[in-house]
Structure 1
Amino acid sequence: MRHGRRQITWKGTALVVGAVAAGCTLVTYVPQDKFVVEMPFVVEGAVGETLDLTYAELTVTDVRIADTVTSFSEAAVAGGTFVVVDATWRATQGATIFTGAEITDSEGRLFWPSDQAECTSTVNAQPGYSWRATYCFDVPKAALAGATVRLARGDQKEEHAGQRRDAVAVIDLGISREEADELWEASETVTTEAPGYPAATTEGSEG
């Protein structure tokens, strides 16, 4: 179910620096084109919203916390706790590989996804079809409150070099400090599934 879409907004500030000294004005101009090249286009949203990234539509459908994730052939135990993010991609312009996935905590620390127990690290989707994926991030307790997940087709690399001049989704996971304490104390196991078509769209293209 779609709860509306968020359009691309550019997170950045044009730099025009002025200084006044001895009655004279000194203006230094940094070309905007150079700055834009280095910045991704950020689409912010929340769990349950469908975000329009131009090249794809993305919905984070659920967020779960687990000590252990299991699949048909494997089990993985978290060093801290797993933040399990269920998402649905729908490529809109052509076959697309989605390689960017990370959690950022309130202090700016980054956590990349595990590929254990059928957890997703890369999604390969055909245009016009929805594709389900489950990302599992092993994070410490301090990373839960205020965490966001960043998903994109460009990979992370250093300083998000693979996402420059491209759209990325940043979703607030909606975990408060009080909820983080409760979630940390709970003992849960999540059984993952290999990436595939969501049950509602197994018949094929959505048009």
Structure 2
Amino acid sequence: MRRALSALLAVGLACAAVALQNTHWSYTRAYGPFVKNGRVGQAITEPLFTIRVEPVEAARTILVPATSYSKPQEIPANGVFIVVIATVEARRSPIYAGQARLHTRYGDYSPTDKFGGGGGLTTPVVTPLSYVRFQPGMPRRGAYVFDVPREAVTGARLYVSDHDAEEAQFGFYRNDPRRFADEVHVDLGLDTREAARLTRTAAAGYSVPEPS
């Protein structure tokens, strides 16, 4: 009888442990980033910024204009350039919304660095939204540009974060600014048919719009 009760108690404790683990928040869920989902054409508002994404475009090559030091040139994609046109506005204080990623079934892709300059110290010849500092009351329209394999386009989503760490200036969190950040996940509407159409009609000599 005592053995049966011990076995029953062990089973009960095991079930309780599983239930507790299932209800326990993961580290990411507890500390962020805090995600808001949206879709193309919808204004998505976070505490520090608002973003509205337009229909996605694609390019096989992108035209980089001439500078004082270089001639105009066409930059080819390794796969295909996915150009996400968006309007971003800071809400309370100046921010960067440059921590953008294209989330695909093959992993996350950062904005391409093929446009010269950049490196965090200088502005590239073609200026993506990744380099823009947004001011409250001054929406800016521009592009995030990603170079991805053609087979990665289907189902791709845009992730944009302010990566604000002002509320995490303690302990190891200050070295991990994604914690407590606000992040927008945008469904780009790239189902199988739309992804095939987009890659098939990708433009040559595409001119990336400058932030305006």
Bin for the TM-score computed over the shorter chain = 0.7 to 0.9
Counterparts of 1:59-70 in structure 2 under 5 Å? 59-70=52-63
The alpha carbon displacement at 1:180 in A equals 2.2
Residue of structure 2 equivalent to 1:150: 159
Residue of structure 2 equivalent to 1:176: 191
Quote the Cα distance in structure 2 between the aligned partners of 1:99 and 1:21. 56
Change (3 A) 1:144 1:127: same
The answer to whether the 8 A contact 2:32-2:182 is kept is: no
Q: 1:23 aligns with which of 9, 12, 16?
A: 9
- Count, aligned residues: 171
Residue of structure 2 equivalent to 1:192: 208
Counterparts of 1:124-163 in structure 2 under 5 Å? 124-154=133-163, 161-163=176-178
Change (3 A) 1:167 1:22: same
TM-score by length of 1: 0.73
The alpha carbon displacement at 1:139 in A equals 0.6
Quote the Cα distance in structure 2 between the aligned partners of 1:32 and 1:181. 38
Residue of structure 1 equivalent to 2:112: 114
Residue of structure 1 equivalent to 2:99: 100
Quote the Cα distance in structure 2 between the aligned partners of 1:119 and 1:135. 9
Quote the Cα distance in structure 2 between the aligned partners of 1:170 and 1:93. 21
Runs of 5+ consecutive residues of structure 1 not aligned to the other structure? 1-19, 156-160, 197-207
The alpha carbon displacement at 1:89 in A equals 0.8
Quote the Cα distance in structure 2 between the aligned partners of 1:163 and 1:185. 36
Instruction: State the SS of the aligned residue for 1:48.
Output: coil
The alpha carbon displacement at 1:21 in A equals 5.6
Instruction: State the SS of the aligned residue for 1:178.
Output: helix
Higher relative contact order (CA 8 A, sep 6+): 2
The alpha carbon displacement at 1:106 in A equals 2.8
Quote the Cα distance in structure 2 between the aligned partners of 1:21 and 1:91. 59
Quote the Cα distance in structure 2 between the aligned partners of 1:137 and 1:128. 28
The alpha carbon displacement at 1:81 in A equals 0.3
Structure with more of its chain in strand, by fraction: 1
CA RMSD of aligned residues (A): 2.5
Residue by residue over 1:12-34, the C-alpha shift from the partner in whole angstroms, topping out at 9 and shown as x without a partner, is: xxxxxxxx962353345577596
Instruction: State the SS of the aligned residue for 1:22.
Output: helix
The answer to whether the 8 A contact 2:49-2:91 is kept is: yes
Change (3 A) 1:35 1:87: closer
Residue of structure 1 equivalent to 2:179: 164
Residue by residue over 1:131-184, the C-alpha shift from the partner in whole angstroms, topping out at 9 and shown as x without a partner, is: 1221110011111111101011118xxxxx432222111111111212322332
Quote the Cα distance in structure 2 between the aligned partners of 1:182 and 1:125. 33
The alpha carbon displacement at 1:119 in A equals 4.4
Q: Percent identity?
A: 27
Counterpart AA for 2:126? E
The answer to whether the 8 A contact 2:52-2:87 is kept is: yes
Quote the Cα distance in structure 2 between the aligned partners of 1:131 and 1:187. 25
The answer to whether the 8 A contact 2:58-2:80 is kept is: yes
